Structure 1
Amino acid sequence: MDGSKSIALASRALRTTRAAALPIFAWPFFGLVVACTCWIYLIQVLDAERLQFERGAYDAASRVAASQAAQLSRDLTMIDQVLVLVGSHWQAVGGKPEQGALDEVVGPDKAILNISVVSPAGEMLFTNSPSAWSQEELANLVRQPFFVEQNRNPADTMYIGPPRRMAGQDRPFTRFSRKILDASGSLAGMVVVALDSDALIPAYDSSVLGRYGFVTSVGLDGMARAFRAGGGARQFAPFPPSLRFALDTPQGEMHVSGRDFGDSVSRFVSWRRVDGFPVVMVAAADQSDTLAALNERRSASLRVAAGANLVLAVFVIIATMMSTRFHRERRQLELSQAAYRKATEGGTEGFFICQPVHGTGSVIKDYCVVDCNERGAGFLGSSRQAVTGAHLGGLRGGLATGPFKQLLDKAFRLGSADDDFLLDAGSRQEAQQLRVGVVRSDGVLAITVRDVTLEKSHLADLERRGNEDTLTGLPNRAWIRAHLPAMLERADKAGAKVAVLFVDLDGFKLVNDTFGHGAGDEVLQHVGRRLKVSVRPMDHVVRLGGDEFVVVLELAGSQAEAEQVAERILHAFHAPFSTSKGTASVGTSIGISLYPVDAKDMETLYQHADLAMYQAKTSGKNRYHLFNPAFYEAMRLRTRREKELRAAIAENQFVMHYQARVDCKSGKVTSLEALVRWNHPAEGLLGPDEFIGLAEETGLILNLGELVIDLVCTQIAQWEHGVYGGVPVSINVSSRQFNERDIRESIASALARHAIDASSVEIELTESSMVVDPVRTADNLQAIHALGVKLLVDDFGTGYSSLSMLHNMSFDVLKVDKSFTSRLGVDENGEVFFRAIITMAHSLGMRVVAEGVETAEQARILEALQCDELQGFYLFRPVPAEQLPDSLELQANAVPAT
């Protein structure tokens, strides 16, 4: 029933919120719709006007192009007639014309600059103006465009040549040519007429096409024959490709951007083919001049529209504010009505309505109870009849206290208020927790009172459970995080210290493994009780989880007090723990950190105690350690080095050095051992002693080992056809890599990836790699052997391998540790040991390698003992691949390397 009521109230509140919000957001929505509509209409109008202006520009350019094309057609027809007349006259006079006769043929037109006749062989037969021809042209008439075209074209038509300039003159001229045919129709020569190019186009009118417009006649080859323009335009030769493509049509129009023209001026272009001639008349109107008036109108329209939008926005804001105020006042009225309904409908809550009683100066001095129910009157310590009409100041008991009146004053001032009160119900009953809510409405206060004692008790119980370990009943991690900061503050005020003892159990995992987790839980419960007994009454024992505990010594006077508590805890763990499964012995390691000596805040204090505990464990367990800054710095450096090593593996900061093994008798290199080096970005080249141990501890050796295998196989593939192409390379495999990874799969994958033969790779294993699981080790070694890879025992003599183990493992090579090589020549036992190893190895079919050979005497003794191979600084030091000797034979100058 309560759930249905809550859902109904939530639904009604949601509907009320939506009804109140709708009118408020209607105004912005209305303004947005009106603004969008106006802008859409304005943009459409401006676009229509733009199209109209552009159409006008195209029409103007089209009229100019059409009129100029018609005029040019007449002019070219006249020129063609002149060419025909001159050719006829030339035939009539037998090739000897007179200037007067030519003037009668041509007429008084001064635009004609020159008349010439050229023979079919390319010789100048006649010209009335030799200065119109350059010496270069006269010498190469057969290469002139008119001569080439007239010979190429079988038809007898007029050819319009490209524009040219006379020497010393800026005015261009155009040559027109036509054939001279004899009576049989054969070519008898060519007549050429030169005409001023400007005469082909009349003067330019900027009022029609704009400042940057132009008019030009263009041949079908894209070259302009004549050009007229405004003061700002220049001639374009050749014409833009986009326009040249369009000129293939008889007439048309298009918009050409300034990028195509190359002068950043966009134009509206129209063209018209000249009837009867291969010439197109082009007229272009300047876009900026054409649209100048439109742009002014557009800017004015946009300013007006922006102003109108601003006015509309102001109107919408004012309307929204007024609507919001109206609905807020309406909502407040509804809240007041709801408060009255809530006060009168509830049966389990007390309610009453109070009216303020004003004193001098409109100051509220008291409140009069206008109405209430019996439960509310009970909270005031009286009955409903006695309370109704009474002043709170005249009532005694219950809520009729000073804090209650202060809450009413706050609600009357702010509109609403609520608070919790503790009501003492007498010695026979527990105190009641009351929650009081007050709402002001129309000058009166509606008050509800609810008993929340059970709720408070439930919350306190939840808080207690959240701060308590369920297994031991001790405070847990959440408790210490909530209360330790307050302890530190109290220590600061008292000038005392706070000691944190981090307690970790030694051997607890063995208890779980031996007796089971049930017995482990019993041990933890016993541990909690022993710790409580070992510490002082004011100290706190906390279980963090698992087998980790913390003891907090609040207001400790000195470090000695913390050490005394630690000693008592260690002593308490001397006796074994009895469980249902048997007796278990558990020790403890304790780390101590003091505030404010070792740390200034909770997190650091806790961290330093943990580090001190770790130092106690690494020092032998069952002891305590105070926080040591030097140990902390060492751990910090180790953590930093581990982080750097992870990054180095991810970024492949490693390089390989190679140390040769040589045959003891021949001195020839038989194999190379690959040794990894870390090319640290800040510290330079680091040897394996700087990082291999850390890699083993952290497990990074697994990824590093895979990387080393890949680097070595890459180098072997590069050596395939070199001096070291047939020399095998041995790779050291760590114990963890061998036992935790499928080393056979890693090697097989690398061999396939780099396409190298298995005989070029050897694997070196230490004796410690083989003692974890001998059966599994034997299987893995057989699998590697099956690939064709040789197996070597590295550092033999320092581990635990037996003769039977070596026999079962099927190794190929035995490498004797350098500690035994160093004893050669020092005492007899060194030679005895080596002789025994060599005899044993040879009987098992294995070759023997002596590591660490550093002197000529050691080499001589090993040769006498019939050792198979030598390796050491006396022969070769580890070097990068590129620094290996060029020969496989051991040279005198290579011994020893320094």
Structure 2
Amino acid sequence: MTLNIRYLWEKHGNALDLQDALKHGLIPAPNQFYLAVINRDGLGVANSVGGTPIDASDRDYFDFHQHNPSMALRVEPQLSISRRSGHIVIRFTRRMETANGAFDGVISVGVEPSFMASFNDEGNLNPRDFISIRHDNGALLVSEKGRNIRGSQVHVQPPVFNGDSGVMRMEKDKYKDRDARIVAWHRLPGYPLVSYVGLSEADMLAAQEGPIRGYRQFAELSSMLFLLMAAIGTWFSVRMASRKRQADEIRQTYQLAIDEAREGFFTMRALYGDDDELQDFMIEDCNSRGASMVGHSKSELVGRKLSERPLLQALELALPAFRHAMENGFCEDEFEVADPRPGIPAWIHRRLIRSGAGLAVTLRDITESRESQELLIKSANTDALTGLPNRYWLLNSLPTLLRTARNRNSAMAVLFIDLDNFKLANDRFGHAVGDKLLGMAAGRLKSVIRTGDEVVRLGGDEFTVLLNTVEHAGEVESVATRITEAFAEPFRILGHSLVVGCSIGISLFPEDGLDADTLIQKADIAMYASKADKKGLFRFYNDELYQRIRSKLDAEEELAHAIASRQFEVHYQPRADTRSGEIRGFEALVRWMHPVRGMILPSHFIAMAESTGSIVALGSLVMQSVFEQLAQWRDAGETLVPVSINISPSQLDAGGVDHQIQSLLEQYDMQPELIEVELTESVMMSEAESIVEQIANIRKMGVKLHLDDFGTGYSSLSRLQEIDMQVIKIDRAFVSRLGTSNQADVLVKTIVLMAKELHMEIIAEGVETPLQLDALRHLECNEVQGYLIARPVSPKEATALLRQRFLLDASKPEAEPPA
């Protein structure tokens, strides 16, 4: 269930709708299962119950998966209460990751304990019996008890079980009700769970009292019956003949039944040597199916020893199982036939039960089920798109490969490969071309590696190559060079010629690490260094790279913490009417108020916020702050002017910006004319349906749209008309050269004339000198913004500017250039 949901999350992201999945029967109804998807910030973004989102960031399982890269299913070591349903649940969780392996959230499935016990019919339990499931730490997760057991705990102390399974007697002082029990247990392989059953010894002995009482009564009546037996002797002799005929018929029917059964059946007698050591078995009987399963006829087997006709295994392999069954009364296993011939199963399920002085053996052909199981395993370990081994295979197989390399005292190499410019190709030509490109990339990788090495697709556009045997670093360089040269050739797909290179990071075993996680992590670090230096190269890991990446990660972690703890403050830079100097609005500009380093300007953290995705949370914080400030000014009776908010492309890619603005307008009862949105030219040129729809919805609310930094990108006039932009902001790069360059004057004049023809307002950014202001007045630019008017100021200083109203003064000295 969690693997399915993780796949849907990776495919749909925040658009994942579990209610729709529930409606179509893709997940079970929330009567005993409560499924939730928690994003990387700890917010429940989807669940099978419905209702408002719940913050799960304080949950232990969220903290565990956030700091633990394992993708395995985790069982929480104690019962917990579901915050949404209010029911006690056993919680199963699995980590989700982005395409680059970063933590992306948690899938949580809460299962009511009653479901875990639903396999047992409560009516089958004696009054003092119980069935339980415990975590390895001793916590009781599930308990089904007979009616005479009171309280939640049966044991005085949690029991200790040694080994994977077994049976033992536990004394009465181990139980609160002072009743000794026979206990059998079994551990679930691969999970921290043990299930066990306790049967009351007293109840088991009491069950034998009835037969004993009957035997005693029989003895008392036997003398009387003896006299009657003589009288009916003649009649009994007649009946014996009849019974014999019936027994013969039953024996024939039984023989027919076992001969026609789908399972093979054998009865075998144990043969002992002079030293009473079990040496062999005699095949006393078998059915036709059993004989055919071992490649013989029934007549060829009956009366023969096991050593003459080994049951589908060499004698040295078969005898231990047979001896175990004789000693313990039972043995059950599955094995693969070493050399199956036509008509003989490839996989056999075998059950041996002690019967008197021998064994009853049943054989069942499980070839088809094992093949289906192996097909499922292969599917789970294979990437569906490229046919390569996947991340699951890598995480499970690499530790084994490393142990093999360690045992033979040889080296290995891990190559972490990321395709360059894949996202651009995918976005430009669509997912069909992107999927075809990934398949062709996988083919090129396989074509240049050595025999015996492995290519793995981790996900997205990331691959890993495992070089299983390495004599020296030159071998690794040779393979990496062949890969980069192979990807230098364009890919020709559906009429398109795509140049998609690759960046490679390399880690070596044992120099760079002794375990799989360390080697993958260090190869990933080297890959990022390669991509940062120059795409299309390969780099070996070294500690300098680690320190560089570590510093970057520390900075990213510090930024994330700063956003979570609201260390940011919004400053406001005013815009003024070009002629009168009257304040016309503010632009909201964020500042990081670091507790140690003081105020940090956006140029030092915005790019990092964009690259890590933190810009989405930071942008939300800025919007919230702007609405709060406008509401404070309104409540204080100040004359309000519009405030423009910068929206990054990443925010629009994440989606929901229009809904957030609409929600804040309603929450603060704010007029839409007081909110303006600034977009870059790259956003305006986007043809992504979701982005175009968000921009259209924002415009419909009555919110003004500004085209920021006009002239520095690649805008088209047709897109200006389609999106209905109302304001153009001329970039400071043009304004700074006004009056000093005839070419700059012409460019600005052209922009102003074009905007007027399109009925758009003009705002000039970066106005710092009276000469620039005079030129803009001459060009009839509507508004100006820059250090000549005012620097970005705190909310308190912005309040003073609101009351001042007029910001331009003819005697005002020239402002300092920006820092």
Bigger-Rg structure (1/2): 1
Q: Label 1:871 to 1:830 Cα distance change in 2 as closer, same or farther (>3 A).
A: farther
Check conservation: 2:569, 2:590, Cα contact below 8 A. Answer: yes
> 1:657 maps to which residue?
571
Identify if the C-alpha distance between structure 1 residues 801 and 422 changes in structure 2 by more than 3 Å, giving closer, same or farther: closer
Q: What's the TM-score, normalizing by structure 1?
A: 0.51
Instruction: Determine whether 1:540 maps to 2:420.
Output: no
- Post-superposition CA distance 1:341-386 (Å, at most 9, x none): 99994665251322342534xx425346372337678999999889
CA displacement 1:39-90 (0-9 Å, x = unmatched) = xxxxxxxxxxxxxxxxxxxxxxxxxxxxxxxxxxxxxxxxxxxxxxxxxxxx
Give the whole-Å Cα distance in 1 for the aligned partners of 2:369 and 2:718: 76
1:355 is aligned to 2:235: no
| Displacement of 1:760 | 5.6
Deviation of residue 552 (structure 1)? Answer: 1.8
- For the 8 Å contact 2:418–2:461, the answer to whether it is kept is yes
Maintained 8 Å contact 1:392/1:400: no
For 1:497 and 1:391, how far apart are their aligned partners in 2? 51
- Per-residue deviation at 1:489? 1.1
Partner of 2:625: 711
**Aligned-residue offset at 1:485:** 1.8
The answer to whether the 8 A contact 1:656-1:880 is kept is yes
> What is the deviation of 1:867?
7.5
Distance (Å, rounded) in 2 between the aligned partners of 1:516 and 1:804? 23
Alignment of 1:5-404 (within 5 A): 22=126, 320-325=200-205, 345=258, 349-357=264-272, 359-360=274-275, 363-364=276-277, 366-367=279-280, 369=282, 371-373=284-286, 401-404=315-318
Secondary structure in 2 matching 1:587: coil
> What is aligned with 1:480?
394
Alignment coverage as a number of residue pairs = 591
Distance 1:716 1:830, change over 3 A: farther
Show CA shifts across 1:663-697 (max 9, x none).
Answer: 67776655544322244567654332244334555
Under a length normalisation based on structure 2, what TM-score does the superposition of the two structures give? 0.55
Report the CA distance shift for 1:785/1:828 in structure 2 as closer, same or farther (over 3 A): farther
Please give the per-residue CA displacement for 1:139-161, whole angstroms capped at 9, x wherever unaligned.
Answer: xxxxxxxxxxxxxxxxxxxxxxx
Residue 658 of structure 1 aligns to a residue whose secondary structure is: strand
Structure 1: runs of 5 or more not aligned: 1-13, 34-311, 332-340
Q: Distance in 2 between matches of 1:504 and 1:795?
A: 33
Whole-angstrom distance in 2 between the partners of 1:381 and 1:846: 90
Partner of 1:677: 591
Identical counterparts, % of pairs: 33
Secondary structure of 1:489 counterpart: helix
Contact 2:270 2:278 in 1 (8 A): no
State the SS of the aligned residue for 1:555.
strand
Q: Which amino acid aligns with 1:736?
A: P
1:732 corresponds to which of 645, 655, 662: 645
Q: Give, in whole Å, the separation in 2 of the partners of 1:510 and 1:857.
A: 43
Distance (Å, rounded) in 1 between the aligned partners of 2:693 and 2:329: 86
Aligned AA for 2:474? A
- Looking at structure 2, the residues matched to 392 and 782 of structure 1 have their Cα atoms a distance apart, in angstroms, of 81
Query: Which residue type is aligned with residue 603 of structure 1?
Result: D
Determine whether 1:559 maps to 2:559: no
Correspondence for 1:591 among 504, 514, 530:
504
Residue by residue, what CA displacement relative to the aligned partner does 1:780-830 show, whole Å, maximum 9, x if unpaired? 79996995x7776544543456889889999887654433454468x4558
Task: Please identify, of 699-708 and 592-601, the stretch whose mean Cα deviation from structure 2 is larger.
Answer: 699-708
1:788-827 superposed matches below 5 A: 794-800=708-714, 815-823=729-737, 827=740
CA root-mean-square deviation: 6.1
Q: Judging changes above 3 Å, is the alpha-carbon distance between structure 1 residues 353 and 496 closer, same or farther for their aligned structure 2 residues?
A: closer
Q: 1:849 to 1:774 in 2, by over 3 A?
A: farther
SS in 2 for 1:353: strand
Give the deviation of 1:556 after TM superposition: 1.7
Q: Name the residue aligned to 1:490.
A: 404
Deviations 1:13-32 (A, max 9, x none): x9x99998548769x98978
Partners of 1:744 and 1:426 in 2: how far apart?
Answer: 66
Deviation at 1:554, TM superposition (A): 0.4
> How many Å separate the matches in 2 of 1:821 and 1:696?
27
- CA change 1:817–1:324 in 2 (3 A) is same
Which residue identity lines up with residue 587 of structure 1 in the other structure? V
Tell me the secondary structure at the aligned position of residue 876 of structure 1.
Answer: coil
* Amino acid in structure 1 at the alignment position of 2:329: G
2:794 to 862, 876, 880: 880
Structure 2: gaps spanning 5 or more residues: 1-117, 131-144, 151-175, 183-198, 212-253
Residues 589 and 616, structure 1, Cα contact 8 Å, conserved in 2:
no
Contact 2:405 2:412 (C-alpha < 8 Å) held by counterparts: yes
Quick check: 2:569–2:591 contact (8 Å CA) kept in 1? yes
Residue identity in the other structure for 1:414:
N
Work out the CA distance in 2 between the residues paired with 1:828 and 1:460: 74
- Tell me if structure 2 keeps the 8 A contact 1:729–1:760: yes
Aligned equivalent of 1:410, options 285, 301, 324: 324
Find the residue that maps to 1:567 and give its secondary structure: helix
Distance in 2 separating the partners of 1:758 and 1:466: 51
Distance 1:343 1:484, change over 3 A: farther
More divergent stretch after superposition (371-380 vs 436-445): 371-380
Please say which of residues 623-632 and 650-659 is displaced more in the overlay. 623-632
TM-aligned CA deviation for residue 648 of structure 1 = 6.1
SS of equivalent residue, structure 2 residue 451: coil
Any conservation in 2 of the 1:855–1:874 contact (CA below 8 Å)? Answer: yes
**How far off its partner does 1:537 sit?**
1.4
SS across alignment from 1:551: strand
1:564 Cα deviation from its structure 2 partner = 1.4
